[in-house]
Structure 1
């Protein structure tokens, strides 16, 4: 876990800085500068792109992580053709997507024209969004397989949000119109892609060859089966996680998508550590499975679970302590999403607390179960969202998210325990939950002070001190203790100089 801990800390810091800038964009700029429909359109374009990227890459992104150890151990960098064929697969997948939109054009118009006509007007912007996002994902996965995760995270989490802020400011001062804004917004990943290509080139890792290697010939059948299975798994999982916005936009209108966007964004703060830990842990697990190192796999599984649970409980409870203060910065209409944040937040805590179960499955010999469980996830999520949204409106999306995520992770937990005799929970799991609840109860009685920002600062500081102290004293996570004491030693050394 040494590599995971060091890079995950740096990546997590970058992601949180990015989320802070993103918070300014999402909470302060977009809702106040754009109409609810315009704001929702920008979110919907990105969320649909996220769903379609696995199709356009033909699932080559997880395939790179899964099979790269075989390429790196048998081929020189200049003879490694994995990146070349992944890019070719992405271009083929993109053209299949374009053909699909042409074929289903009439159906798309019928579903969205009545309640979301603005989406139909700018549907063509999906094409640059999807292509650039997909290509960036391929090169990001390749970079991660080289254990270079910090710079791609810097681009995706920080630079992207800064550029978005610049575009919003340009639109606010009327330096660009709405049409040009959307075009530039849709091309942002192109800028990130160029920067990542230059980065890989300078590290001498950017090599293309159309000569088919012996490794590709030997593993092509296995990789094709793996890619197509994971394509279904990833697509089903992404559909399940993003289906609420599509159902809301079709059934209730784009304004509800705007409200859901805010609730989703706030709850996604909880997932920030998971993103960096998963990106770094995936190649480690792939290598451990290749070497049949079950001790390493168990170590990553258990440590990632408690580490993510501590992060998740901390962030979730800080958010909920200050939820009214947070919504006070938004227009009054957005407050309908308050309890959606609560239910989506609980679902994130459950997902985080079960560790890197998805990454463990996708790199194991039983990777097909990743597809089967994702099918179950979608089979639960779609009818739950459809029924609960139609009966409870926006709040129904929160109910559906919590219920489907709970069952989804329970199924994966049982399967991993049954097949591999691995489970992520220890006595430290109970300690983490106890410390979180105790810290929350001790802080929730603090009364509202003069200003929402001051209220967030006071409650957040008190909760952090109580939660952090108890976490260190109870030694819930060795990685957290080692990091904290290491930082303290560095501070002491600086002060002595």
Structure 2
């Protein structure tokens, strides 16, 4: 757990540096006199459609790396491992299929987005290089994860990507380039960091292209193809669940509403940073633990991840909810973005539920029962598609937030119950209850204290300091997680 904790902290720090840079980017996207809401919404569309291109074009092959790479590592020299080569080939085939379908369904897209998404239609085909770069980067990211080298890809994806975006925003803001060139360059963001990661891996002699079929591939290819088929469906379901809200809002309402929703989602996603870093790092350890039949270690990682991510997510959520409205006004952002605050509050709850159930998805996907990840994902998509469509149509962006809350509650409960019944693992105890009570009490005190100040900046700082102090003191006083004291002892020693 110490290795996981160390990498999680390093990755978490890099993630937050990235989010700080991202916050600066969001500021220029949303401040008065910069980008329009529709232009900001278009950047969200690129990420949503790019993720879907990546999921469909991968043909499920990227997930095979996580499950089967330990068998290649234990049985072959590094130069004879052909798994990554075949994954690259499968993804290239998948991408050209998707590109062809993009031309075939162009008229369909025009009909669906002609009402409020004309700006997206103007740059429709530039989404494909964006998605291709994301696809290529995702392959190397998965390879780095199974090597338990997650810091560099996390740094590139969460920090460097945003730094490059900052440069593009600055060029547009200073009128060096117009919006057309901003989007043209924006579409190559992931290709840029893919090349950086490729250079890093090659220089460290951790990657080599092998086109001969190894004995491990000959032994496991049937299982890999079967898993690939199921994981392809699972990956598509997962990405649709994450992106359908923005796509529906852009199609059913307009790109301006999608831009407002993007800011709400960005603020809510701050809650998810600890989860993202810990999941990426835990998957390698969980894969090895299942291979070694070390169920005790799996249970330990699962239990610790639940309380740690719950504490971290509640800490961030409290600070965001306390100060989001005041921050929009204090930073002179467009007041139209205040319409997304209610959606942000609900989306934040969704992230807490997802984070508070720990690495449940990683536990399932790395186990012998990985097929259940597909089945549970199928249930989620069957919920999230119709609820998003009808609630957005009836209530606008707040409807999407409620749709996610309903769907993710059901989704995570199903996965929690499966792990409890199948592996006899149940991570919650009285410390979970104490964590919720501590957060509620700290939030109430900080909210009351903030209302005593009329100056926005003083109120923001006071609420943040008071709530954070109560949470940190409570963690150590009530010993809510052993990792907190172990970290403190380590830092004292250093």
TM-score by length of 1: 0.96
| 1:193 alignment counterpart | 194
Residues paired across the two proteins, number:
490
Map of 1:477 onto structure 2: 481
1:309 aligns with 2:310: yes
- What's the secondary structure of 2:205's corresponding residue? coil
Please report how far the alpha carbon of residue 452 of structure 1 lies from its aligned counterpart in structure 2 after TM superposition: 3.3
Q: Say yes or no: does 1:406 pair with 2:409.
A: yes
| 8 Å CA contact retained: 1:49, 1:130 | yes
TM alignment of 1:113-152, pairs within 5 A: 113-152=114-153
Partner Cα distance (1:428, 1:222) in 2: 41
- Alpha carbons 1:270, 1:345 under 8 Å: kept: yes
1:10 aligns with 2:29: no
Q: Distance in 2 between matches of 1:25 and 1:363?
A: 36
1:446 counterpart SS class? helix
Determine the C-alpha separation between the residues in 1 that align with 2:163 and 2:404.
30
Residue 368 of structure 1 and its aligned partner are, at CA, apart by: 1.0
Tell me, yes or no, if structure 1 residue 43 matches structure 2 residue 47. no
Distance 2:428 2:336 in 1: 41
- Aligned equivalents of 1:480 and 1:136: distance in 2? 33
Partner in structure 2 of residue 172 of structure 1: 173
Alpha-carbon shift at residue 315 of structure 1 (Å): 0.6
Instruction: Report the Cα offset of residue 42 of structure 1.
Output: 1.1
Determine if the alignment matches structure 1 residue 235 to structure 2 residue 236. yes
1:249–1:257 contact (8 Å) kept in structure 2: yes
User: 1:487 deviation in Å?
Assistant: 2.2
> CA shift at 1:450, angstroms?
5.3
Per-residue deviation, residues 250-284 of structure 1 (Å, max 9, x unmatched): 11111110011000000000000111100010111
The answer (yes or no) to whether the contact 1:129–1:187 under 8 Å persists in 2 is yes
TM-score (structure 2 length as normaliser):
0.97
SS of aligned partner of 2:212: coil
Q: Which residue of 1 aligns with 2:469?
A: 465
Q: What CA distance in whole angstroms lies between the structure 2 residues aligned with 1:208 and 1:428?
A: 49
* More displaced stretch, 465-474 vs 9-18: 465-474
Distance in 1, Cα, partners of 2:436 & 2:68: 37
Q: Which residue of 2 aligns with 1:386?
A: 389
Deviation of the 1:241 alpha carbon:
2.2
Aligned to 1:356: 359
> Post-superposition shift, 1:177?
1.7
TM-fit CA distance, 1:433? 1.3
Note if 1:366 corresponds to 2:351. no
Aligned residue for 2:449, secondary structure, equals coil
Aligned to 1:442: 445
Cα distance between partner residues in 2 of 1:214 and 1:441: 62
Equivalent in the alignment of 1:493: none
Task: State the distance in 2 between where 1:445 and 1:199 align.
Answer: 50
Contact kept, 8 Å, 2:83 with 2:217, in 1: the verdict is yes
The 1:376–1:31 alpha-carbon spacing in structure 2 relative to 1, beyond 3 Å, is farther
Paired residue for 2:491? 487
Q: Which position in structure 2 is the counterpart of 1:494?
A: none
Partner of 1:390, secondary structure, is helix
Mapping of residues 70-469 of structure 1, within 5 Å? 70-328=71-329, 329=331, 330-448=333-451, 449=453, 451-469=455-473
Q: Distance in 2 between matches of 1:202 and 1:2?
A: 28
Does the aligned pair in 1 maintain the 2:53–2:132 contact within 8 Å?
A: no
Note the C-alpha offset of 1:287: 1.0
Contact 1:30 1:168 in 2 (8 A): no
Q: 8 Å contact 1:358–1:370 — kept in the other structure?
A: yes
Measure, in 1, the Cα distance between the counterparts of 2:484 and 2:217: 41
State the alpha-carbon separation in 2 of the partners of residues 431 and 408 from structure 1: 24
- Aligned-pair CA distance for 1:184: 1.0
Q: How many Å apart are 1:179 and its aligned residue?
A: 1.4
Change (3 A) 1:16 1:171: same
Preserved CA contact (<8 Å) 1:251 1:390: yes
Cα displacement string for residues 406-451 of structure 1 (whole angstroms, at most 9, x for unaligned residues): 1110111111111111122122212221221121122111135354
Q: Give the stretch that moved more between structures: 440-449 or 129-138.
A: 440-449
- Cα distance in 2 for residues equivalent to 1:134 and 1:296: 32
Q: Matches of 1:210 and 1:11 in 2, distance apart?
A: 33
Aligned residue for 1:445, secondary structure, equals helix
- Give ranges in structure 2 of 5+ residues lacking alignment: none
Give the unaligned 5+ runs of structure 1: 491-497
Q: Distance in 2 between matches of 1:276 and 1:378?
A: 25
